[in-house]
Structure 1
Amino acid sequence: MEELGREGSGSAMVFAKLIALVALFDLVRSASVAGSKLDDAAGFLERAKESEFFDWMVSVRRRIHENPELGYEEFATSELIRNELDALGVTYRYPIAVTGVVGYIGTGKAPFVALRADMDALSLQEAVEWEHKSKVPGKMHACGHDAHVAMLLGAAKILQEHRENLQGTVVLIFQPAEEGGGGAKKMIEAGVVKDVDAIFGFHVAPNIPSGTVEARSGPIMAGSGFFEAVIGGKGGHAAIPQHTIDPILAASNVIVSLQHLVSREADPLDSQVVTVAKFQGGGAFNVIPDSVSIGGTFRAFSKESFFQLKQRIKEVIIAQASVQRCIATVDFLDKGYPFFPVTVNSKALHGHFQKVAGRMLGADNVRDKKPVMGSEDFSFFSEVVPAYYYFVGTKNKSEGPVYPPHSPFFTINEEALPYGAALHASLAMSYLSKDHTTSPLTVEVHDEL
């Protein structure tokens, strides 16, 4: 019996050691999983998809959507952002550029990487009937900036949870007045990117499937400007046009001539656009007015082409009006609506984006983006800091028709929110990590506007 007891005791010891080894293995595996969530983009996406996290982002987005505010009027939106940052324990500066907020997560020391979201709405009456429709007549988040803010706050939550692992500082830029007001320019003038080494921005894209992103190296969005012209003539009765100088006829000829600038003067391989989108004049069927106002936009992918268009627009309007005996004045509105430069993605950051997005979404879901003639005031950042701008897909095949941004029927597939939040957070954290292998960045010299 004594010998048997020793044998049984030895078996028990071996069994206990096996249990301990299994426990140790589980501990190591758990640490490995935790580490992968910390360092792997897929782990961030898993976190952002958790129901409580997701519901919070949706709530933020819907609260902003219900109370849209135009450029430099985003006081309630800014307050909401600050309240959420307070709840997360994130320090910030406010106000910057009237309503802007800039948060900081990490060591407070270099290197610095910035993440940007715009927060202004559009002067548009929402035509979508749903529970969280805009409560402000004539104003709507029809370009997805409400989603941008929610996703950047989501990125802030992820980064704050892992702030001890940040090897530098993430700068969170909540920017006002992207829609023509040049809010990015004002924030740059306020010094928010003075010490920043790189900056990332994004935009929702309803034409791209959810779970997919698109971007490219180099120019991705055009430079743009606005123009307005007043063409003056001599009004009178429509029955006796010979006693008048008809500004409507003159303006009509001006508009036709402006279309020739691209079709007959521009290199077909050099993308340019001139669009007249405003024509105002007259108020009665039988009265020729004294003057007519027209206005529009012009766009190009290089400085030379942009300023050539600007010069020719003025020349054509004045000269063509003169042919019809009218006098024209032209205003490029650059004081209230600064010319937007071309949005240029850093070649160095392109590889970083592809690597991080590929780890998160799979290489097949990271697509090349063709340049588009739309413009973005993120372009001001790309002139002073190595910058990267990408598009987050929101298309859901099971839903109805897809409407583009700036449409009163524009909607957001909220299932895409975790992708923007997780990717923004992962781009910043991996950029600051020791594993970041991108060579030292400098602002790339280019001739884009």
Structure 2
Amino acid sequence: MHKKMRFSNWILLLLILLFVGSEPISSYSSPSSASEEHAEISRNFLSYAKKSDFFDWIVGIRRKIHENPELGYEEFETSKLIRDELDKMGIAYKYPVAVTGVVGFIGSGKPPFVALRADMDALAMQEMVEWEHKSKVPGKMHACGHDGHVSMLLGAAKILNEHMHLLEGTVLLVFQPAEEGGGGAEKVVNEGILDNVEAIFGLHLFPYLSVGQVASKPGPILAASGEFNAVIKGKGGHAAIPQQAIDPILAASNVIVSLQHLISREADPLDSQVVTVAMFQGGNAMNVIPDYVTIGGTFRAFSKETFMQLKLRIEEVITRQASVLRCNATVNFFEKEKPFFPATINDESLHKHFWKVATGMVGKSNVKNMSPLMGSEDFAFYQEAIPGYFFFLGMQNIDMNEKLPSPHSPHFKINEDTLPYGAALHASLAVRYLIESQSKIRGAEL
């Protein structure tokens, strides 16, 4: 365990903090303030993570996971690999959490508590990237970078374990199942394991930023999302005698056009919303009007009120527009099978913390303020329970002409050079949060 700082030293530290302020100092050559010393911690963590033995280890972890992708709530082998690595480091953990999840504990075992999160699940798609460590499981692939997320959190665990003397509290390492639609984060929250945690941080690999760059913003950064499915029933018949049938294809077509009016004519242009119909199934012959058509899609918004209003109007438009053309429609939002994801809303004070840590590690020019995206993340469930912060980590190699494909593509690839940055950022965010939290506690006691 680390040695406790003497009372007089804490007074000195507090005075330094009062006069220096929160922004990192541009020169780090000879630290003379608490801010510079904390920035030095972050840079040291990155240097540690870039060492060849550490890099080879973290890349090896990522490739093992990539070769053996598992879908949500089926991550048994991934979970075992995580537990094996934590055992090697002597880090205690709880298992199972939310079916296949693992939560590690490192530090003093006492408050304050801060959490770091990585998602574990893969996607049901066939990998089209030809390389030595291609998925060995037909029809399953890590196409969203979760293999990288797990390896980076294990990397953070190794960094924290090697710098235990800096931990002034406890870090929870949350390896979470089923982010891809399964709402694994909600299950983790419901199990109460984060009840005493003050803050949680999460990251996502991002192919549109360069290695060494990060991006985020305070407030809404990702949208709330839900899915819907509608069965529109008519009356089948011969395509040459449409008057004797009730055409569900025509009704479904009108429904799809009317759904777009929800955005163009009902939504506030300054309140971003999306309704996308991505599935249309009906009929299997050129000369037969089918009995029914099935459509499905997704809807998204940045506020709970807007999201719920959009849900209400989607059901009304589908059922009423279908009835105009003499069809019946039923709508299913899959709320039990796939919980709606809330909007991902970053805590304002944690944004300031992230900015200090990230700029201290990679420099101000590499910390970007990004616009909100209409994608969604079940990290939002944590943010509904405790203050949370989510950010994006670049992995594009500016020295190569190749542009990395987007997530959820069968051609998705990870630039493994970014893994040390994710591990070091995770560890730095946690360590410096605990240091600052303890400073506030001691300041309040003076």
Given the two structures, how large is their TM-score scaled by the length of structure 2?
Answer: 0.89
SS in structure 2 at match of 1:104: strand
Tell me what 1:426 maps to.
Answer: 428
Q: Check conservation: 1:58, 1:414, Cα contact below 8 A.
A: yes
Q: Check conservation: 1:232, 1:291, Cα contact below 8 A.
A: yes
SS in structure 1 at match of 2:114: strand
Shift of 1:249: 1.1
Change (3 A) 1:438 1:200: farther
For residues 256 and 38 of structure 1, the distance between their equivalents in structure 2, rounded to whole angstroms, comes to: 54
Q: Check conservation: 2:39, 2:360, Cα contact below 8 A.
A: no
SS in structure 2 at match of 1:40: helix
Q: Check conservation: 1:94, 1:102, Cα contact below 8 A.
A: yes
Tell me what 2:266 maps to.
Answer: 265
Tell me what 1:405 maps to.
Answer: 407
Change (3 A) 1:304 1:280: same
Q: Which amino acid aligns with 2:182?
A: G
What do you get for the CA RMSD once the two structures are aligned?
1.7
Tell me what 2:276 maps to.
Answer: 275
Q: Check conservation: 2:396, 2:403, Cα contact below 8 A.
A: no
Q: Which amino acid aligns with 1:354?
A: W
For residues 361 and 380 of structure 1, the distance between their equivalents in structure 2, rounded to whole angstroms, comes to: 29
Q: Check conservation: 1:107, 1:167, Cα contact below 8 A.
A: yes
Change (3 A) 1:300 1:37: closer
Count matched residues: 407
For residues 413 and 303 of structure 1, the distance between their equivalents in structure 2, rounded to whole angstroms, comes to: 36
Identical-residue share of aligned pairs (%): 66
What do residues 361-382 of structure 1 show as CA deviations (whole Å, max 9, x unaligned)?
0011111011111110000000
Q: Check conservation: 2:39, 2:361, Cα contact below 8 A.
A: no
SS in structure 2 at match of 1:211: coil
Shift of 1:165: 2.5
Q: Check conservation: 2:209, 2:393, Cα contact below 8 A.
A: yes
Shift of 1:37: 9.7
What do residues 338-362 of structure 1 show as CA deviations (whole Å, max 9, x unaligned)?
1111111111111111111111000
For residues 426 and 272 of structure 1, the distance between their equivalents in structure 2, rounded to whole angstroms, comes to: 35
Shift of 1:331: 0.6
Q: Check conservation: 1:36, 1:43, Cα contact below 8 A.
A: no
For residues 314 and 432 of structure 1, the distance between their equivalents in structure 2, rounded to whole angstroms, comes to: 47
Shift of 1:133: 1.0
Q: Which amino acid aligns with 2:388?
A: A
Tell me what 1:170 maps to.
Answer: 171
For residues 408 and 215 of structure 1, the distance between their equivalents in structure 2, rounded to whole angstroms, comes to: 26
For residues 49 and 327 of structure 1, the distance between their equivalents in structure 2, rounded to whole angstroms, comes to: 61
Shift of 1:198: 0.6
Q: Which amino acid aligns with 2:266?
A: E
What do residues 397-433 of structure 1 show as CA deviations (whole Å, max 9, x unaligned)?
3052321111111111000000100000000001111
Tell me what 1:361 maps to.
Answer: 362
Q: Check conservation: 1:93, 1:102, Cα contact below 8 A.
A: yes
Structure 2 residue 244 is matched with structure 1 residue 231: no
Shift of 1:309: 0.5
Worse-superposed segment, 239-248 or 188-197 = 239-248
For residues 171 and 406 of structure 2, the distance between their equivalents in structure 1, rounded to whole angstroms, comes to: 31
Tell me what 2:9 maps to.
Answer: none
Shift of 1:55: 0.8
Q: Check conservation: 1:430, 1:436, Cα contact below 8 A.
A: no
Q: Check conservation: 1:220, 1:343, Cα contact below 8 A.
A: yes
Structure 2 residue 169 is matched with structure 1 residue 198: no
Shift of 1:38: 9.9
Tell me what 1:352 maps to.
Answer: 353
SS in structure 2 at match of 1:433: helix
Q: Check conservation: 1:38, 1:162, Cα contact below 8 A.
A: no
Given the two structures, how large is their TM-score scaled by the length of structure 1?
Answer: 0.88
Shift of 1:436: 6.6
SS in structure 2 at match of 1:335: coil
Tell which structure's C-alpha radius of gyration is larger. 1
Q: Where do 5+ consecutive residues of structure 1 fail to align? A: 1-28, 30-34, 441-449
Shift of 1:36: 6.5
